[in-house]
Structure 1
Amino acid sequence: MFDLTGFQRDLLYVIEGFDEPHGLAIKQEIENYYENEIHHGRLYPNLDTLVEKGLVDKGEIDRRTNSYQVTARGRREIEARQEWEQHYLTPEKEQTPNQ
């Protein structure tokens, strides 16, 4: 997941939070979070990148509407990211950066 942009990571999390959402549902959820309009030219190429990386499967609801689902690999990446975040967010021990 280290090679994803923050936007792509957010898309992955949104897709995981829904049951095979379509592009418009993802767009609306991301717009709510970002409090900004997300243009199709930004959304769909980033969804395609997640598909190309094997993190998301793309299905077809009808001729004009695709659905998206996080793959097993995508879930492993999300879990690994959450573990990494917890390492730094857990106040159990003081962290000292490597120098």
Structure 2
Amino acid sequence: MIMNKEFILKLKNIGSVLLNSPARNPIFSVAFLFLIVLALGALIFYRYDILVKASQPKITAEAVQFEEELYRQILKEWQTRDERSGAVDSLKYIDPFQEKR
């Protein structure tokens, strides 16, 4: 039981030192945080810029071919949908705000 109390007191002392030292030295704390952010920024830059430029992308031998028949089917479907939507626009609806005669 005594050992547990001593351990808790040591943890409390270490915690207070760790939390109070940045408050006593704010310039060093800001400089340390700046260095951490700078290192993370350099790591991200290296990962997404330098590594991408260094590794060459794989070039596929196949060229993309335009499928004329598929294009015609899609165009035909679009035209039928356009005709159906045009039919809906031409309907005359009753105005609910107009007075009845």
Q: TM exceeds 0.5?
A: no
Specify which structure has the bigger relative contact order, considering alpha-carbon pairs within 8 angstroms and separated by 6 or more residues. Answer: 1
- Comparing both structures, which one devotes a greater share of its residues to strand? 1
Q: TM-score scaled to structure 1, two decimals?
A: 0.26
- Comparing both structures, which one devotes a greater share of its residues to helix? 2
Q: TM-score scaled to structure 2, two decimals?
A: 0.26
Which of these two proteins has the greater Rg computed from alpha carbons? 2
